[in-house]
Amino acid sequence: MPLDANTPDLRTEFKSVGTRPNRPDGVDKVTGRARFGADFSAPGQLVGLVLRSPHAHARIKSIDTSAAEALPGVKAVITYKDIPEQEGCDKDVLVNIMARGTALYDGHAVAAVAATDAAVARKALKLIKVDYKVLKHVTDVDEAMKPSAPVLHPGRFEPVDYNSLETASHVSGKQETKTKTREGSNIAGRYVFGHGDVDKGFKQADIIVEHEFKTEATHQGYIEPHACVASVSSDGMAELWVCTQGPFMVRDVCASLLGMDVSRLRVTPSEIGGGFGGKTTVFIEPVALALSRKAGKPVKVVMSRSEVFRCTGPTSSASMWVKIGAKKDGTFVAADAVLKYQGGAFPGSPVEMGAMCAFACYDLRNVRIVGYDVVTNRPKQAAYRAPGAPMSAFAVEGVIGEIADKLGIDAIDIRLKNAAKEGTVSSYGPTFGPVGLVETLEAAKAHKNYKVKLGKNQGRGVASGFWFNFAGNTCVSINLNVDGTLALALGTVDIGGSRASMCLMAAEELGIAYDDVRAIIADTSSLGYNDISEGSRVTFSSGLATIKAVRDLKKRMCGRAAKIWGIPEDAVKWENGAAHPAGANAGGFDPLSIKEIAAQASATGGPLAGHYEINAEGAGPSFATHVCDVEVDPETGAMKVLRYLVVQDAGKAIHPSYVEGQYQGGAVQGIGWVLNEEYFYGKDGTLQNAGFLDYRIPVCSDVPMIDTVIVEVPNPGHPYGVRGVGETSIVPPLACVANAVSSAIGVRARTLPMSPPKVLAAIEGVAASKA
């Protein structure tokens, strides 16, 4: 079998893969020894702090830094003038890291200082005088689309004929007569997907359900705030130690913003205390570099929790309309949706992905989705675990839940009837290969949780979800040590136990013990470019590259054995951790173990290493079905999640514990999104809950142990059948919990979060309407 075949030979029997060894980074993390972003220090480092706009929208008339600069201990003060616009840089990122003329959201960076200690730096911030002219602001997505809304970027986005928008015809009571605005609009983009003829489809329907839905912005809620140490030498060579999901991205973006050759900047990623997509862009990193460049000393910048909430990227808030038509037997005949996502002060909300995912679970003849990307006076959104998909699934799966109830069809059966499968033309275009939605639905239906009898004020919800999974650029090296152990160098930050998974795949491929492979995350000068750890791509892409790098190494080791035995290379095969003669004709040599080959490496040609680089494709989507039971206190609106089940297709679970961990983590984040998490803005457009006290992520006692079932429908695009698993798990929970609440108390929640005051008001509304 060729070692570098383009079509992977799908392995189905495993020794290491599928076991559950401890992760190599585990002990250091639980003992506090692991070094996170704020744990790096450089000799003589200064403390950097950022001055931020207290206004949601304001013109910056002037910035006077003279008093701050005169304060003893202050070594540098910078404004946008110290980061001049470079040709070819991303202007939105440039403006986001430091306001240029206009503060676009509460917390937008306006200036920064580097000083000998934090007390001096804090004092210096107070001495910077900024003269603001406060402008009208808008934070709500529907408000931002109105012609009367203040325009964030005058002249940038096309004026819109508001009467022609899908929103105008579908959303009652919101039409406005004014059709054009002189300054343009806040609508940064429009996306359309679908096929067939929805109008014709709806004519065949026995039942049509349509509703509007709204979700609030939520933050990834990673426990580790952004932190970095930047050191720029007088010769222009720079180093950056940083907590990020993408050190190569940080290097390239910072170099571009600061006008540096990429070779001059070396980025070393720290351990990461959570990212979930939020650490896939830059905020403080170029600011720290600019401060260090000006001060001539290393500068450490660590965000406060309040800064993390106000100034980094939460996900979008969304306003949506969904309409689905079905036959009496539950067959969907048409589906239509309008999605409006605000992505903060700059274009790029994940509405396009939200639109692509909305109906991806279903086999639909007639489907249309229109998505609008809208800018508002909020922080620029960043990716958050399956960006854009949980919101549209909330609306779509909610409507499906209502159709099932009205038709008296079981919630899983109606999904089975319409489920996408191999050969289905997806609602966003491509035709699916082998996918596992049907398998997840069948496993959910067979699970014991689906049979538990419910009590008073209790209800059960079901929802399915989809995520594409990404592949992308990956570059991996594996080095054989003198004693036969291995050092595996990866360029994708380990955000979910990937080092353990890579070691398992390397051990499997070599036929050696897991403990004989140690994986590290290399810095940006040690490997070729690696894409960010995002899109559930790491175990797939870096795993594929690891397997191929190991095959490269195996070939070289077989070559050395051939040399020792004096036989041709192709007469040697690798099995169970050793080189063997390929057959009886090759000669009667005893196998040479990896340790023996390593010991003789110097004598047989020098060090042994394997390497592989690829822009991978064929990631293979992952589908999931969730089932949850809730109990609602009808007197307070408080909700308790009693049971929660995640069934998801992993293709092949390399390390099942970490796959289950991804399932559980995504479910819990989704539950938080439904229950209490929200960006809460005051009338002045400033964020009112920039801390973990009033931005309520779930605590342990808020959720039950999340039950998991791993379904394995192998992905033909990976040698072991792997699919990414990190993101799909956050897609169904919003609708799953909402559907459970509906079944418990007859209240259909279409606005998130379903915080107790909202649930109680809804219960009383239902009671009043019955009275």
Distance CA 77, CA 322 (A): 50
**Smallest gap, in angstroms, from Cβ of residue 545 to another protein?**
42
**Smallest gap, in angstroms, from Cβ of residue 53 to another protein?**
16
**For another protein, the closer CB: 300 or 548:** 300
**Smallest gap, in angstroms, from Cβ of residue 137 to another protein?**
18
**Smallest gap, in angstroms, from Cβ of residue 694 to another protein?**
5
Distance CA 671, CA 668 (A): 5
**Smallest gap, in angstroms, from Cβ of residue 677 to another protein?**
10
Helix, strand, coil percentages, rounded to 5, for the chain: 30, 25, 45
**Smallest gap, in angstroms, from Cβ of residue 690 to another protein?**
10
In what order do the strands lie in the sheet containing 187-195?
187-195, 367-374, 332-342, 317-326, 207-215
**Smallest gap, in angstroms, from Cβ of residue 231 to another protein?**
27
In what order do the strands lie in the sheet containing 578-581?
572-575, 578-581, 592-593
CA–CA distances in Å: residue 253 to residues 94, 310, 383, 495, 570: 10, 22, 17, 21, 45
**For another protein, the closer CB: 421 or 640:** 640
- The answer to whether the CB of 92 falls within 8 A of the CB of 345 is no
Gyration radius of the chain's alpha carbons: 28
Distance CA 78, CA 578 (A): 59
The residues near 467 (Cβ < 8 Å, ≥ 6 apart) are: 357, 386, 389, 536, 621, 622, 724, 727, 728, 731
Distance CA 289, CA 46 (A): 12
**Smallest gap, in angstroms, from Cβ of residue 215 to another protein?**
17
Q: Tokens standing for 749? A: 């929640």
**Smallest gap, in angstroms, from Cβ of residue 14 to another protein?**
41
Nearest in space to 364 (alpha carbons), one of 318, 327, 328: 327
- The answer to whether the CB of 242 falls within 8 A of the CB of 272 is no
**For another protein, the closer CB: 227 or 375:** 227
**Smallest gap, in angstroms, from Cβ of residue 634 to another protein?**
10
Tell me which residues touch another protein (CB under 8 A).
122, 304, 306, 635-638, 675-676, 680, 688-689, 693-694, 696, 698-699, 701-702, 755-757, 760-761, 764
**Smallest gap, in angstroms, from Cβ of residue 760 to another protein?**
6
Phi, psi of 303 (to 5 degrees): -70, 145
**Smallest gap, in angstroms, from Cβ of residue 57 to another protein?**
21
**For another protein, the closer CB: 239 or 677:** 677
**For another protein, the closer CB: 390 or 634:** 634
**For another protein, the closer CB: 119 or 446:** 119
- The answer to whether the CB of 148 falls within 8 A of the CB of 320 is no
**For another protein, the closer CB: 302 or 532:** 302
The residues near 711 (Cβ < 8 Å, ≥ 6 apart) are: 436, 439, 440, 443, 647, 648, 649, 650
**Smallest gap, in angstroms, from Cβ of residue 601 to another protein?**
52
Strands 458-467 and 622-632: antiparallel
Q: What secondary structure does DSSP assign to 2-55, as a single string?
A: -TT-SS-------SSTT--PPPTTHHHHHHT-S--GGG---TTPEEEEEEE-SS
**For another protein, the closer CB: 1 or 771:** 771
**For another protein, the closer CB: 362 or 695:** 695
**For another protein, the closer CB: 370 or 760:** 760
Distance CA 498, CA 459 (A): 37
**Smallest gap, in angstroms, from Cβ of residue 530 to another protein?**
37
Phi, psi of 265 (to 5 degrees): -115, 120
Nearest in space to 544 (alpha carbons), one of 655, 654, 386: 654
Element (H, E) at 330: none
**Smallest gap, in angstroms, from Cβ of residue 115 to another protein?**
16
Distance CA 728, CA 466 (A): 6
**For another protein, the closer CB: 334 or 754:** 754
Q: Tokens standing for 675? A: 């229950």
**For another protein, the closer CB: 125 or 562:** 125
**For another protein, the closer CB: 584 or 693:** 693
**Smallest gap, in angstroms, from Cβ of residue 308 to another protein?**
13
**For another protein, the closer CB: 28 or 694:** 694
Give me the sign of the Cα torsion angle 283, 285, 286, 287. Answer: positive
Strands 74-78 and 109-115: antiparallel
Nearest in space to 531 (alpha carbons), one of 376, 724, 257: 724
Distance CA 448, CA 162 (A): 51
Distance CA 359, CA 466 (A): 9
Phi, psi of 193 (to 5 degrees): -135, 160
**For another protein, the closer CB: 306 or 600:** 306
**Smallest gap, in angstroms, from Cβ of residue 93 to another protein?**
28
